[in-house]
Structures are given as C-alpha cells and as structure tokens.
Structure 1
Amino acid sequence: MEELARESISLLARSASHADSPRLGSFGAVFIMLKSALGAGLLNFPWAFQKAGGVTTAISVELVSLVFLISGLVILGYASSVSRQKTYQDVVREVCGGAVGQLCEVCFCFNLFMICVAFLVVVQDQLEKLCISLYQTVTGFSEGEMPYHWYTDQRFALFIMCLFIILPLSIPKEIGIQKYTSVLGTLAATYLCAAVIVKYYLMESHVAIITPEHSQGVSSWGSMFSVVPTICFGFQCHEACIAIYSSMENQKLFHWTAISVVSMFFCLLIYTLTGVYGFLTFGRAVASDILLSYPGNDVVIIISRLLFGISIITIYPIILLLGR
C-alpha cells in the first residue's frame, strides 16, 4: 500500500509539473534552434568561402556537413524520446552508462563555459569596433586621436551590458521563454546578411579576384578541409536540441525531424548568402571578420555591427541556461 501511495504521489507531482510548465510550439522551436546556430560564425563565412577555394566547393562542404548535422539532431531527439530524459548529459548517461555520462557532464560543462567566454570576447570586440566607428563618423577624427575615458572603456560597457541585459534574460529557467529574444536575434542576423547582399549590388565595379589560390593538388584539398570546423561551428546547436525537444508540445519524431530540417535550411540560406556575396565582393582580400572589409564610417555597417552584437547577446542566455 505504501509503495502504491508513493507511486500515485509521484505520478500526480509529475502531471502537475507538466501542466505548470509552458510548452514550446513549432514556431518557437524553429527560432530557438535558429538562434542557437546563428552565432559568431556568420562573420567568418565569406572568409571560409575564399579559403575553401570558391563558391561551389564551399557550398558542397556545407551540404555534406549538413547531412551529418541534421542526422545528429534527429538521433539526439530519438535518444531523448527513448530514454525519457530532458538534458543532454542525462540522455548520454541513460543510453551509454554512468561512467560515460559523468565524462559527458564534464565535457559538456567545459564546452559551454568556453562558448560563454568566447561570446563575451566577441561582444567586447564588437563594442570596441562599434565605439571606434561611431567616434570616426561623428567627429571625423581617426582612431589614434580618440581620447580614453573609463566610462568609454569597452570592459566597463561589457560589465554594464552583462548586469542589465544578459543577467535579466538569463534568469528564466525555461528555454521556451527564449523564443521571443530568439526572433529578435534571428532578425538581427538576417539584417547583416541583407546588408552584405545590398552592398554587393551597390558597388560600381566588381574587380575582386575570386579565383582560388590553390586550384588543384594537395593544397586545394587541405584548404577545403581547413574550413570544415568553421562551417560546422556555424551550424552547431546540438547542446540545446534536447532541451528544446523536451519542451515541445509535439514530441513525435517526424515533427522533430521537420523542425531540425527547417531550422537548418534557414541557417544554410543565411550563411550561404552571406558567404557568397561577401566572397564575391572582396574575393581573396576578404577579412576573417567580413565587417572589417567595409569602411568603418559606413552607417549600414555600423548598424550591422550593432545588430550583430544584439544577435550574440540573445544566444548567451540559452547557453547559460544549459550550463546552469
């Protein structure tokens, strides 16, 4: 009788928790997946296209990588469904055993910590470049003539941003709430893509050298494979996928597969358009940060840098939630 009573209480508690927690719809799931993937790698894709040896080679690498990435998302969703676990490390522990699960926990936390540090560095870098661009645009002076004040230091600005923007966004313990900021972050990343395309068509003449440095041989293969980490990092959202899947209303495997394909397709579209037009605009001279290839006092590029910083900020609460 006592055992039956305990089971009844646990079932009631479980049903109550499911009733209380907000469920995530398809629209929200797609945008959170999109925002988890659309990160700092967006700035590097034109350089990756140049390094890979041109548009055709780079898109081929993207498509091959995407097959494995989508397969990984579907497998993780299936593993979460079978194991009935809601976190990445719990799924690994349930499927692969306790020892592998503990190792996964350590690697998972370390990975998320390093991503958080990297994103803060990216945000600080964007703040610094944004301040320099604004100063040059407003005053007409060069970067070397910019006076130093403690309140204009990018480290102070980063502290204020973390305290008043990132921290409040990171307080909710449900990933579903991040769908609102994810829409904003996705639109911000889309603006950068649109700016690169528009800038290409507004050019008076296209004189960029787009022929590959290594057309054949071992060097060309080496260049192609050297951009695989950059491209795969751009589509990386596997850390968040199990948390997203377990928060969804419809957890059928076919539906999850559709969510994965749709979100990765839009990622592919944004990354490819940015990579193609950025590469065609500057060719071999393209910088690893595409925004550095444009004049610093260009208003469209200043807005792009500001919105890109906002885009990175909207990813941070998702990563922090997973680590917490």
Structure 2
Amino acid sequence: MEELARESIRSMSLLSKPARGSGVPRLGSFGAVFIMLKSALGAGLLNFPWAFEKAGGIHTAISVELVSLVFLISGLVILGYASSISRQNTYHDVVREVCGQRIGHLCEICFVFNLFMISVAFLVVVQDQLEKLCLSIYETMTGHIDGHMPHHWYTDHRFALFLMCFIIILPLSIPKEIGIQKYTSVLGTLAATYLSIAVIAKYYLKDEHTADLRPEHSQGLDSWASMFSVVPTICFGFQCHEACIAIYSSMENKKITHWVFIAVTSMIFCLLIYTLTGE
C-alpha cells in the first residue's frame, strides 16, 4: 500500500507540472534580460538629452538616475516576489490576489489605459519616422530631392503604418507567452543601442559644439525644482514593470535571487545607454 501511495503521489506531481520539453519555451537569463531591455528602452530615450540639460548637468542627472534606480529595482523585485507567492502570471492577477478584488479591477483599468497611451506614443513616433523613410526611399528611387513626395494612397505614411501594424506588430501580439519575443527583443535592444551611438556620434563629429551656448543653470530653489521636474521623465525611461511579471513567470529559473540578478543587470544596461545618450 505504501508503494501504491508513493506511485499515486508521483503521478499527481507529474500531472501538475508540464513536461520540461513539451511545454512552452521557457526564458533563460539572456532572453529575460533582452525582453526587459526591450520593454524599458523606447520613446523615453529621445527625452534624455533634454532631461540631462534640465536637471543641471550630467552629475546631477546621474544622481537622479541612481536614486530612481533604487526604487525601480526594488519595485521589480517586489513584483517578482508577489508573483511567486501568489502563483499568478499576470500583473492584474497578482494585484487582485494580493490586494483584493476591488483594487484588482482598478488595476486592470489603469493597466489598460497606461498601455494604450504608451502604444499611442510609440505609434506617433513610428509614423513620424515612416514619413521620413518613405520620402527618403522616393528620393533615392526617382532622384528628385525637393523634400516633397506626390500624394498617392500607396505613398501615404499612414498606409505604411497600417502595413507595419498588420505584418509585424499584430503577429508579435498574438502569442500569449512572452518568451517568444526573446529573439525580436535582441533586435529592439540593438536598435535602441544604435540610436544612442548615432546621437553620440552626431554630437562629437559636428564642426562646432554648442556647449558654450547653453544657458547657465540657476542655483537654489530653481535648480532643485528643475532637478525634481525630470524625475518623471527618467523614471518613464526605465519603466518596464508592466511586463516584468509576465517575464518572471516565463523564466526557467524562478528563484528570487536570480530575478534580482536579471532586474539589476537589465537596469544597469539601461542606465549605461540612457547616460551615454543624455550626455
């Protein structure tokens, strides 16, 4: 009877856990870091040069970044720990399990609204770049460099945006598991890194620097107000908390110590890229 009980317990444990090779692909450290980077790096990258100037210089801005990182990394670790103890795989499910039904419903509303506004911001940036790309392709193919392109339905940048959403964004949005994005996240991180390098190269390769033309930074209360005014911009640049629970739930190694390593590593890479761009 004891042997039969052991066999039944063993079979139940096997049924409760998916087979290692038969389930969905799990994330390793490499994939988790790149998805975190892809979630954080984005439109906020374009605002960091302004944030560094508004804060009063590179030293003040880096200090604001480091202080903000303490709270941002702590938030990532807390969310991962909450997911592990609640055994939930999504952000709003974790909030509902930990804080109750009402707070969970409020979180769902805020979550959808936040993601919708972020998506709109990204699509506006993409549309602006597609307009320049379509014009560049037209000038290259026709040889007419006048800054204008004849208006047709197939040359409209809105049509190009629709094609990009339908061919690229929609297929990436269909899978429920975020682990499938570990390959595209590498491309996204490389693209953000390229943008950072391009900004740095553009600044140092131009003939005349405009550093002497910058206005002098005020002292006292005005400087403190300027420093605190860039905190939302800097925190937005490191924002990846909406996706962190989905990333943690898809990881192969779900130890909290390992999750701390993933959070710290990804945020340090973000800090490096943002600081180089902001300089």
Q: Normalising by structure 2, report the TM-score.
A: 0.88
- For 1:137 and 1:215, the matched residues in 2 are separated by 47
The aligned residue for residue 195 of structure 2 is 192
Conserved 8 A contact 1:235-1:264: yes
Amino acid of the structure 1 residue aligned with 2:235: C
Task: Map 1:175-254 to 2 at 5 A.
Answer: 175-209=178-212, 211-254=214-257
Q: Which amino acid aligns with 1:141?
A: I
Q: Which of 256, 269, 291 is residue 259 of structure 2 equivalent to?
A: 256
CA RMSD of aligned residues (A): 2.3
CA gap of 1:169–1:95, structure 2 versus 1, over 3 A, is same
Q: Does 1:57 align with 2:36?
A: no
Identity of aligned residues (%): 76
Contact kept? 2:217, 2:223, Cα under 8 Å: yes
Q: Are 2:161 and 1:158 equivalent residues in the alignment?
A: yes
What's the counterpart of residue 145 of structure 2?
Answer: 141
In 2, distance between residues paired with 1:135 and 1:254?
52
Alignment partners' CA distance in 1, 2:12 and 2:165: 39
- Aligned match of 2:275: 272
Q: Residues of 2 paired with 1:268 and 1:227: CA distance?
A: 15
**Per-residue CA shift, 1:167-186, capped at 9, x if unaligned?**
12222221011000000111
Larger radius of gyration: 2
Select which of 23, 26, 29 maps to 2:26: 23
Match of 2:126 in 1: 123
Q: Deviations over 1:113-149 (max 9, x none)?
A: 2222222122112212333455567746343x43222
Q: Could you tell me how far apart the structure 2 residues matched to 1:60 and 1:135 are?
A: 45
In structure 1, stretches of 5+ residues that fail to align are 1-6, 277-324
Deviation of residue 9 (structure 1)? 9.5
Cα distance, 1:21 vs structure 2: 2.1
The amino acid across from 2:132 in the alignment is K
Paired with 2:139 and 2:65, the residues of 1 have a C-alpha distance of 37
Check conservation: 1:53, 1:211, Cα contact below 8 A: no
Alignment pair present for 1:43 and 2:46: yes
Q: 1:71 maps to what in 2?
A: 74
Q: How far 1:198 sits from its partner (Å)?
A: 2.1
Distance 1:153 1:9 in 2: 60
Any gaps of 5 or more consecutive residues in structure 2?
1-8
Aligned to 1:280: none
Q: CA deviation at 1:28?
A: 0.3
Between the aligned partners of 2:137 and 2:258, the Cα distance in structure 1 is 46
TM-score if structure 1 supplies the norm length? 0.77
Q: Bigger shift: 113-122 or 22-31?
A: 113-122
1:29 shift after superposition: 0.3
- How many residues are treated as equivalent by the alignment? 269
Contact 1:31 1:186 in 2 (8 A): yes
* 1:245–1:166 CA distance, 2 compared to 1 (3 A): same
